[in-house]
Amino acid sequence: MNWKGEWRKLAFIIAIFLACFYLPIGNPRFNGAILEAFLLIKWYAREHVLLCLVPAFFIAGAIGVFVSQASVMKYFGARANKALAYGVASVSGTILAVCSCTVLPLFGSIYMRGAGLGPAIAFLYSGPAINVLAIVLTARVLGWQLGLARAVGAVVFSVVIGLLMHLIFLKEERARIANQDVYIEEDATGSRPLWHVALYFLAMVGILVFANWAKPQQSTGLWSAVFAWKWKITAIFAVLLVFGLWRFFKVRVLYLVLAAIAVAVIGLAAPRYPMAAFAAGSAALAVLTFFGGAELKEWRGQTWGFAKLILPLLLGGVLAAGFFLGSPTSTDAGIIPNNWVQALVGDSPNALLRILGKPDGFHMGWLDAVWPIWTNFRSFAPEHARPQLDDRTKEDVYIRESRGCHGDDHGHDLRGHCVRSTFREESHSIPKGGCHAKDTDSGDRLSEMQGAFGQR
């Protein structure tokens, strides 16, 4: 036995044992953090898995089957023109309304179809941040300057990060290229007509977008009207998907009718719970893939492959996020105290200086200079374009979570993440973990942000 290798395993076992032996059970913060982890994963399962991830897995599987590998390699492959590859990848998310979780299966599918690591990472990074709806709402609430900065910043940083990842994994990428055949203009076996693919993807993306349409605070206007009709619009796209299954993939009408009846019965039996009909529709689609041709079987296999690969990682990450940062309904329940987060990425370095033992009013010139850059240029927005907070309120602003929630993005972070704020107990609260705003001009501005971006 080679004990040189076994010592590492022994050290790992000892470390796990000591961690279990000294678990701080009974410590209020530790116990609360465990509860918050399960509260967050419950919230995530209800809000994201069924409506966001399941459609995303089907779309990712469809990309792996119905999108020509030659086309992917032509525009995103390692041998493609770099300016074209990174340019297309960094702006492709404009037409998609995906969060940072939903984009993962899409990233995996284009990468597995032959996209280079750099362009694929650029798509992964920029996709959740630059969809048209998020940019328009950011500009509307925080000013066109910040809206433009978000769009430009997301595109630029996605290209930079993509290039860095390409250089870091250059050796692996070269080995991968060596195993790939040079792309050609058309697949040797021919391809499905473009309009077939476009119509099919339009149906699936429409279902993804409108099933997740957020409820705005305002009861009038376009967003409210769309929300009132969201499930009817989703049903229209579902009918379009059924048409594609019949017309393009030759699924028998009898099977489609039986599936439609089952979904309709559940929808009529539980009109107050449209998610039940949505779950039935997703299950029916999965079953129908057993009754089609080879393409549908391959689609089912690709979809299942992405689901079993990505879903456990996401759920594990959500558990960790809840343990460390808490759930959307908590105020300071994660294992990491909120003042630590505020000290690292708050609006000002005051919290950091307090932790370092500096007196109130103490300033460090170099720290004040680099802080806006460290916090994603947030302080560079013009005064009239930013929510105006008094000094006392600013001290209590902290980042609660970083998560790309489709239709629930409050627009602070240039990377498309969700930044939630909580203020002192006397603050006027908006329910369901949204922005909590004082009953002042700053409160009105944050309430407007909450109304524009909506709550699920």
How far apart CA 291 and CA 257 sit, in angstroms, is 13
Mean pLDDT of the chain: 77
User: Is 128 in a helix, a strand, or coil?
Assistant: coil
pLDDT tier for residue 370 given thresholds of 50, 70 and 90: confident
pLDDT tier for residue 160 given thresholds of 50, 70 and 90: very high
How far apart CA 381 and CA 413 sit, in angstroms, is 12
How far apart CA 286 and CA 268 sit, in angstroms, is 22
Q: In terms of pLDDT, which residue wins out, 160 or 362? A: 160
**Mean pLDDT across the stretch 417-438?**
35
| Residue 179 CA from chain centroid, whole number | 32
pLDDT of residue 164: 93
Residue 456 has pLDDT above 60, yes or no: no
Residues 6+ apart with CB under 8 A from 243: none
Residue 165 has pLDDT above 60, yes or no: yes
Contact in structure between 344 and 356 (CB atoms under 8 Å): no
Q: Which amino acid is at 120?
A: A
pLDDT tier for residue 191 given thresholds of 50, 70 and 90: low
pLDDT tier for residue 427 given thresholds of 50, 70 and 90: very low
User: Is 188 in a helix, a strand, or coil?
Assistant: coil
Give the tens place of pLDDT for each residue, 438-452.
333 434 444 444 444
Give the tens place of pLDDT for each residue, 77-99.
777 788 888 888 888 877 676 77
**pTM, entire model:** 0.69
Contact in structure between 99 and 63 (CB atoms under 8 Å): no
pLDDT of residue 14: 94
Residue 356 has pLDDT above 70, yes or no: yes
Identify any residues that bridge with 428 across adjacent strands, giving them in sequence order: 437
CB atoms within 10 A of CB 182: 9
Give me the DSSP letters along 333-396: -SSS-HHHHHHHHSSSTHHHHHHTTPPTT---HHHHHHHHHHTTTGGGS-GGGS----HHHHHT
Structural tokens at position 107? 């990233």
Residue 177 has pLDDT above 80, yes or no: no
User: Torsion angle of alpha carbons 214, 216, 222, 226, nearest 10°?
Assistant: 30
Residues 6+ apart with CB under 8 A from 200: 62, 66, 241, 244, 248
How far apart CA 405 and CA 320 sit, in angstroms, is 17
Give the tens place of pLDDT for each residue, 3-42.
777 888 889 999 999 999 999 998 988 999 999 999 999 9
How far apart CA 164 and CA 168 sit, in angstroms, is 6
pLDDT of residue 400: 34
Query: What are the CA-CA distances from residue 227 to residues 54, 126, 136, 411 (Å)?
Result: 21, 26, 17, 20
User: Which phi and psi angles does 307 have, rounded to 5°?
Assistant: -65, -50
Give the tens place of pLDDT for each residue, 200-233.
889 998 998 888 887 877 788 888 888 899 999 9
pLDDT of residue 93: 75
pLDDT of residue 440: 39
**Mean pLDDT across the stretch 164-190?**
69
Give the tens place of pLDDT for each residue, 250-305.
899 999 999 999 999 999 999 999 999 999 999 999 999 998 788 898 899 989 99
pLDDT tier for residue 237 given thresholds of 50, 70 and 90: very high
Give the tens place of pLDDT for each residue, 372-403.
777 765 444 444 444 444 444 444 433 333 33
Contact in structure between 155 and 91 (CB atoms under 8 Å): yes
Q: What percent of the chain has pLDDT over 70?
A: 79
